Structure 1
Amino acid sequence: MDIFTGPKLRDFKNSPPHLQFNKYVLTGYRPISTYRDCLQSLFYLHNEFGNIYTHGIPFICFLLVLPLSIPWAEIEWWIGVVHYLACLSPTICSVFYHLFMNHEGGAPIYDTLLCFDMFGVCLVNTLGALPIVHITLLCYPSSRLVATLAYLLLSGYGVHCAVSAQSNVHRLQSFAWQAIFRFFLFMLRLTGAGRGSPASLRLYLTMDTLALLGGLVNISRLPERFSPGRFDYWFNSHQIMHIMVVLSIVYLHWGTLEDLTWLKGYHCPGE
């Protein structure tokens, strides 16, 4: 096998059952492969190529650029760490899933990788929201502690639901309670009961809207549903979701930076 041309690709009906999860993607499936062959698939075109790189390239950018924009010296260290990990986790976990999903270990390896991918999504939902909880309830230490513990418990439940879900619809539903909790925090800010930068609220709402729309596009299988085979390599629903997830992470980062800038000059009443 030449590293740049790759092996002969399979069609949908000749792929293993555990890889037949999108019946509208008809061609471009990699054969069952070793770890080395999976890595070599980084260098030739197949139907997971776009999925790998639409998260692989952003991962490298986030890894290198995000630490330079976080004001480490002006914030509590844990806020920077959890935010950084939140931004990295869904992209790197997704890359591993898509790169090695056709490994010769078969369905057990695939299921493990899928759980790993879902865990990355859970991490961005969990870690990404902790600074939001902290800053929204900044002046209410007891409520902040209760809210943080409650959100962590909801997140644990979400992880369990996501890794045990049997369909994309159920996986999307796994994150509903976390989204509702964040929306409650946003309403506290909107009504003035919560704290935080006025500019960050719009960014956070955009973040969650993009994530939701990406999930809906993925489960609806648009646009490939209307033209099976046409979007096997590019611009299928999963790639569109990847792009929307990356944009969602960018808005999370912008919103967090706005909050951290606001936090530097804010003191709770009575301090």
Structure 2
Amino acid sequence: MLLNCAQPLPLLRHTDVPPRVIENFILTGYRFPNYSLRDCLLSAFRPTNETGNFWTHFLPVFIFFYHFVEVFGWESAPHGDDPFFYPLWNYFIGVFCLLMASSLAHLLNSMSIVVREVCFFVDYGTISAYTVGSSLAYYYYIHPRAGLWQTQEQKDFSVDTTQEFTQSSYAMVDFDVFFNKFYIPSACTVAIICVLSCCNTRQKWRQYRYVIRTLVFLLPFFISSTPIFYRLLTKSPYFNKSSSFASSSTMAVFFYRHCFWLLLSAVFNISKIPERFAPGRFDIWGHSHQWFHCFTFLSILDELHMIKAEVKAILLSPSLLVATSISPPLPGPTIASTYGVMLLLQTTIVSIIVGFSWKANCIYGPERDRLVKDRMKKHTKCH
């Protein structure tokens, strides 16, 4: 019987797709296999089990951008290409790549098994790049001495007063070596470990893949958040009655909310609630991965608000703002220390993705080729 080529490809049940494609407790709405690029793009507007996964990370790109550009309109903010904003732009790159890679991975993964593997390898890579982008923002805006140096005003103080300021509990020497020498390298190293581990879960340990992926990304959270933990446990660098203090004091609330959304996203990703209790009922809308996406984005949004609060605090204290004409205890951001770090990390991640993709092609290439031949035979019948 001839196929009706004008109609979209039929959606399949879990019994009609390769076991590799089946998601726990999702019974219907599968697109896989043999979708063309055009079919995949059009499926964004069809009710499939990936439609919600696509939109819950694609639409947030625009929401994030709306809140992000607000910083550059502040009265005290320098121009957008000023070195002061290099870490913030790297953070934006990390978030943008994460959201776009995640949404496109869910949209395009039905082209073949090999493409599916590559899509999610890229997804894991952008998550790790995002964690390093966050670390760069934390380092330059929430570092224990972010934006601080000894000003002429401070030099006019008595020796005892200046000594008290620089040796306060806020600037403990014990942590200087870690923050200044090991913080960013540690964040990059952990990010690479996360990519390797998550990519491996697509070929090994598949029974525990969701638990492993969730737990693996807890490690970069704790490493990246070290400056925040330090700030929460020490006194503010700003005078209590200053506008900088008022802005910086909101950081704790945003961070706790950031942690709350992350915890919820982890719970839904591991537990597979609600589809676990009603297999088949949440195949299209409302399954756990969509909630995971929503809560992940809410955590990112609160993280952005937290970073913006610290950026504003620094901008409201020009006497404490890092100036390129003065050598501060914490060097200001440069192209090499921000974009250079991200470029080196991305190059490493891309090489890892290429390696795993080559291996996936060796494993699943024959099956992909067989499905392509079957598709061509069906297409021939249409003419």
Identity %: 22
List gaps (5 residues or longer) in structure 1: none
CA contact (8 A) 2:98 2:126 kept: yes
Q: Given the alignment of the two structures, is residue 248 of structure 1 paired with residue 299 of structure 2, yes or no?
A: yes
Counterpart for residue 105 of structure 2: 97
Counterparts in 2 of 1:180-219, with a 5 A limit?
180-192=222-234, 197-219=248-270
CA contact (8 A) 1:90 1:121 kept: yes
Counterpart for residue 227 of structure 1: 278
Which of 114, 127, 133 is equivalent to 2:133? 127
Amino acid at match of 1:89: C
Counterpart for residue 164 of structure 1: 200
* Change over 3 Å in CA distance of 1:2–1:198 after alignment to 2: farther
- How far apart are residue 100 of structure 1 and its match? 0.9
Counterpart for residue 73 of structure 1: 78
Q: Which is further off, 201-210 or 37-46?
A: 201-210
- How far apart are residue 86 of structure 1 and its match? 2.6
CA contact (8 A) 1:90 1:120 kept: yes
Give distance in 2, aligned partners of 1:119 and 1:179.
Answer: 15
Give distance in 2, aligned partners of 1:116 and 1:66.
Answer: 26
Give distance in 2, aligned partners of 1:86 and 1:53.
Answer: 19
TM-score by structure 1 length?
0.88
CA contact (8 A) 1:154 1:178 kept: yes
CA RMSD, Structure 1 to Structure 2 (Å): 2.5
Amino acid at match of 2:17: S
Counterpart for residue 93 of structure 2: 85
TM-score by structure 2 length?
0.63
Amino acid at match of 1:261: K
Measured against aligned partners, the alpha-carbon deviations of 1:239-271 in whole angstroms (never above 9, x if no partner) come to 000110111111011111101001113428xx7
List gaps (5 residues or longer) in structure 2: 149-170, 203-208, 239-247, 322-327, 329-383
Partner secondary structure for residue 99 of structure 1? helix
Amino acid at match of 1:42: A
Counterpart for residue 175 of structure 1: 217
Larger radius of gyration: 2
Counterpart for residue 188 of structure 2: 152
CA contact (8 A) 1:7 1:31 kept: no
Counterpart for residue 136 of structure 1: 143
Measured against aligned partners, the alpha-carbon deviations of 1:127-169 in whole angstroms (never above 9, x if no partner) come to 1232112222325775533222222222222222222234111
* Count of residues paired in the alignment: 265
Runs of 4+ in 1 over 3 A off after TM superposition: 139-144, 193-196
Measured against aligned partners, the alpha-carbon deviations of 1:169-214 in whole angstroms (never above 9, x if no partner) come to 1111221221222443332112216769221122123213312320
Give distance in 1, aligned partners of 2:110 and 2:304.
Answer: 33
* Change over 3 Å in CA distance of 1:136–1:193 after alignment to 2: farther
* Change over 3 Å in CA distance of 1:89–1:43 after alignment to 2: same
Partner secondary structure for residue 227 of structure 1? coil
Give distance in 2, aligned partners of 1:131 and 1:14.
Answer: 46
Higher relative contact order (CA 8 A, sep 6+): 2
Give distance in 2, aligned partners of 1:123 and 1:207.
Answer: 18
